[in-house]
Amino acid sequence: MSREPVYATLTALVRAITAVQGLRTTYRGTENIPREGGVVLAVNHTAYLDFMQVGLVARRGKRRVRFMMKKELEANPIVGFLMRHCKAIGVDREAGAASFAAAVESLRDGELVCVYPEATISRSFELKRFKSGAARMALEAQVPIVPVAIWGAQRVMTKDIPRAVGRHNFPIHIAVGPPIQPHGTPDELTAELRTAMETTLAAAQDGYEHPVGARWVPRRLGGTAPTLEEALKIEEAEMAARRAAREK
């Protein structure tokens, strides 16, 4: 790998934060990430900081991840600096074609590009409806998609739950599924990806202790997180509130 001092420093910082928090990470299937060539990493999204685990997964294969991040974050001096020097891909939701083209170019250059098919954090901690972006990128660049499921990160920092600061020693399970080769239509590939993600998420959840009644545990596993339907209603109310604020 070519030297990228800012990326290396950021990775060291992530490892230090993980150690201070006492996070106990278990990895399964990391050999499924190809050691070279372009790859779309399709990751479930349950927490604000689950990108840190994505970077650590790639590091095990001596690879770096190019994250797709909201373009408006570039306005922040610190985040903008990190985005530029870590080759993050800015996503403009009003003009998505440019970010899509940049992601495809990175994939053709042999990079790992992280995509969250659900687009936003899942309050239910179940898989939400998938966007087709990951499939379209894979088809355009003719690279595989690798499903990645992270479980337990929602206990640290997520929506609607108090943040767990300090040393808490939470276990984090990460499962990586077999690569899915690009084929068919975007809708067909997205459906196949979702099925693979369900299997991968089940593998990440396997053996994880889920206390009955815990807010970070999905309803079907005995927790009190919102169901997918309840979470959707919360999101729709938030969107309506944002629209109303913009119209004032």
Res 1 pLDDT > 60 = no
Flag whether the pTM goes above 0.75. yes
The share of the chain scoring above pLDDT 90, in percent, equals 73
Q: What is the pLDDT of residues 91-100, one digit of tens each?
A: 776 667 888 9
Adjacency order of strands within the sheet including 24-28: 24-28, 171-176, 145-151, 39-43, 112-115, 65-70, 89-91
- Mean pLDDT, to the nearest integer, of 169-178? 97
Torsion of CA 8, 57, 166, 9, to 10 degrees: 0
Q: What is the pLDDT of residues 39-51, one digit of tens each?
A: 999 999 999 989 8
Count of Cβ atoms closer than 10 Å to residue 228 Cβ = 18
Question: Does residue 151 contact residue 197 with C-beta atoms inside 8 Å?
Answer: no
Burial of 67 (0-12, 13-18, 19+ CB in 10 A): buried
Res 2 pLDDT > 90 = no
Distances (CA, A) of 244 to 135, 160, 236, 248: 33, 22, 12, 7
